[in-house]
Structure 1
Amino acid sequence: MLIFIKLLLAHLVGDFILQPTRWVLHKQSNKIVSKFLYLHVLLHLVLYMLVLWNLSLWKIAATVAVLHFIIDLLKLYANDMFKNKSVPFFIDQALHIIVLYCCAFYADLYAHTLALFENLDWYLITAIVFVTFPASIIMGKILEGMSNQIETDHKSLPNAGKYIGIIERLFVLIFIVIGRWEVIGLLIAAKSVFRFNDLKERNNRKLTEYILIGTLVSFGLAILAGLLYVS
């Protein structure tokens, strides 16, 4: 596990701290002929060797560096296939982490992966999944009759309310799991403060009631999931 953590640290430093924006732009424009692509991979190789600090592990560092080059190169040519540029970014990072994992545990990859899955807390994973999109859909069904009576605010970001709800439910679930119920009260208070001025300016009772009901339902679903998990 320590080797994986060290490789991950080197990756984070090389990809996010020691990679200037001009390198990224130059790679996107010049792709395989970009000098910064090769400099970037060389930097990663140096970082891998530094964190491992063991010459006998040079094959791991070299393998990860070569695969890093291949993944980055594929990303440069695949970028234009995606309208949402965050998609290739996350795919790229996921592939890098998979490579780090495989190289770190290459000696007993199957046994370690099997043990990892066997030790997963499936109850917690189910609770986490539930408070994301399933809970959003349930809330939509519960509030469907009320939402038709609320005027749409075109100034809002698309799906902003849905993602805010998902994040707040995840926080509530985490606080319940670690036994910090008092923080949930602070979270509700913080959300109320942010909403207060907006609702005051609108002076719309229906909207206020709708948001209040939605907030209570959202927190209620998260608390229910948390209670079922800890019970």
Structure 2
Amino acid sequence: MLIFIKLVLAHLIGDFVLQPTRWVLHKQANKIKSKFLYVHVLLHFSLYMLLLWDLSLWKIAVTVTIAHFFIDTLKLYSNELFKNKSVPFFIDQVLHILVIYGCVFYTNLYAHTLLLFENLDWYLVTAIVFVTYPAAIIMGMILEGMSNQIETDHKSLPNAGKYIGIIERLFVLIFIVLGRWEVIGLLIAAKSVFRFNDLKERNNRKLTEYILIGTLISFGLAILAGLLYIS
């Protein structure tokens, strides 16, 4: 597992810390002809060997480096197929991690993967999944009658409220699992402060009540999921 962690660390350093924006832009413009594509790949190989600090593991470093080259090249040529540029980015990162995982545990890949799944805390996984989109849909159903009475704010970011709710519920669940209930109070207070000026300027009682009800339901669902997990 230590080898896997070292290779992931090397990947993070090479892809994010030591890759200037001008390299990224040059690769996007010139693709496989970009000199920075090859510099980037060689940098990764150097980082792999440096962090592993074991010449006997050179085959793993070479294999991961070659795979990195092909994955990055595929991303450069497939970027145009996606309207949302975050999609190829995340696919690219997942493929890199999977390659590292496969190279490190290739001798017992199936057994190790099976062991990982067997050791997963499925109760926690279920709680995490619940407080994301399922909870958002439940809230939408509960608040549907009220939302029709609220004027839409066209200045708001699309789906911003939904994502804020998902993030806050994840935080609440984490704090409950860690037994830090007092931090949940701080989270509610912080959200109230951010919302106060906005609601004060609008002077809209219906909107204030709607947001208050939504916040309480959101926190309530997260607390319920947390309590069910720790019980």
- TM-score tier, shorter chain, comes to over 0.9
Per the TM alignment, residue 7 of structure 1 is displaced from its structure 2 partner at its CA by 0.1
2:185 partner letter: G
Deviation per residue, 1:68-121 (Å, 9 max, x gap)? 000000000000000110100000000000011111111211111110000000
2:44 partner letter: H
Which residue is 1:96 aligned to? Answer: 96
Aligned residue pair count: 231
Per the TM alignment, residue 158 of structure 1 is displaced from its structure 2 partner at its CA by 0.2
> Aligned equivalents of 1:197 and 1:32: distance in 2?
51
> Aligned equivalents of 1:139 and 1:210: distance in 2?
12
Which residue is 1:221 aligned to? Answer: 221
Per the TM alignment, residue 216 of structure 1 is displaced from its structure 2 partner at its CA by 0.1
**Correspondence list, 1:59-78, <5 A:** 59-78=59-78
> Aligned equivalents of 1:138 and 1:54: distance in 2?
53
Which residue is 2:210 aligned to? Answer: 210
> Aligned equivalents of 1:32 and 1:145: distance in 2?
54
**Correspondence list, 1:1-231, <5 A:** 1-231=1-231
> Aligned equivalents of 2:104 and 2:6: distance in 1?
9
SS of corresponding position for 1:167: helix
> Aligned equivalents of 2:48 and 2:188: distance in 1?
44
CA RMSD in angstroms comes to 0.5
SS of corresponding position for 1:209: helix
1:184 partner letter: I
Structure 1: runs of 5 or more not aligned: none
> Aligned equivalents of 1:123 and 1:160: distance in 2?
28
> Aligned equivalents of 1:223 and 1:89: distance in 2?
33
SS of corresponding position for 2:13: helix
SS of corresponding position for 2:141: helix
> Aligned equivalents of 2:180 and 2:21: distance in 1?
40
Runs of 4+ in 1 over 2 A off after TM superposition: none
1:5 partner letter: I
2:179 partner letter: G
Deviation per residue, 1:39-76 (Å, 9 max, x gap)? 10000000000001010100000000000000000000
1:118 partner letter: E
2:16 partner letter: F
Deviation per residue, 1:162-198 (Å, 9 max, x gap)? 0000000000000000100000000000000000000
